[in-house]
Amino acid sequence: MNVFVEMPVPLKDAHHQAIEQVNAWRGRCVNLFARGENIIGKALLAQPDPKSMPMLLSQRNKRLTAIVDGDTKKTAALEAFQLIASRRNAIVHGNGKVYVAPCGHWLLRLEMIDRSGVVTEHFTKAEADAHAKELKKAIDDVWSAFQGQSANDGSSR
């Protein structure tokens, strides 16, 4: 009779796997943020009297929100995106450190400097996965609200 016993993954291997998962997750988030920035930027460019393009995503989002004031679908989509995009700088620019438990669960600590000093964000794998899903939904909602805004949009989903 054979007895199958689950062998734990050596901690070094678990750590390498966790780092690969974290890097893949951050890459997906960066791509999603870029997609959102592209949609918002193109919507600003499609305005009848476009002003100079604001440099920061939050400034672009704020300007576009002011332009579409009164359109509840667009305003809600932009506000939802802005809320989730508040963690963008940490994900994109944060110095990451991955901690892993012997069972393979990981915690990502991101540290960055902003105007207020040192900022630290933490993500477990479950929180990271949930954040990526929320981010994708927020960007899909912005896309849905603004598709057709520009004849030459060309954004891919």
CA dist 79 and 46 (Å) reads 20
Residue 27 lies in a domain: yes
Domain with 141, as residue range(s), is 11-88+125-146
Give the global pTM: 0.82
Structure tokens that stand for 87 in this block: 């963690």
CB atoms within 10 A of CB 148: 8
Helices (H), the chain: 11-45, 57-67, 72-85, 88-93, 125-146
Residue 109 lies in a domain: no
Q: Is the pLDDT of residue 46 over 50?
A: yes
Residues 38-59 have a mean pLDDT of 89
Q: Is the pLDDT of residue 22 over 80?
A: yes
Residue 133 lies in a domain: yes
Residues 11-22 have a mean pLDDT of 91
Residue 19 lies in a domain: yes
Residue 103 lies in a domain: no
Residue 60 lies in a domain: yes
Q: Into how many domains does the chain fold?
A: 1
Rg of the chain taking only CA atoms, in angstroms: 20
Q: Is the pLDDT of residue 58 over 60?
A: yes
CA dist 124 and 65 (Å) reads 32
Residue 40 lies in a domain: yes
The residues facing 123 across adjacent strands are 108
Structure tokens that stand for 79 in this block: 């506000």
pLDDT in tens, 99-150: 998 777 899 999 999 889 999 999 999 999 999 999 999 999 999 999 855 4
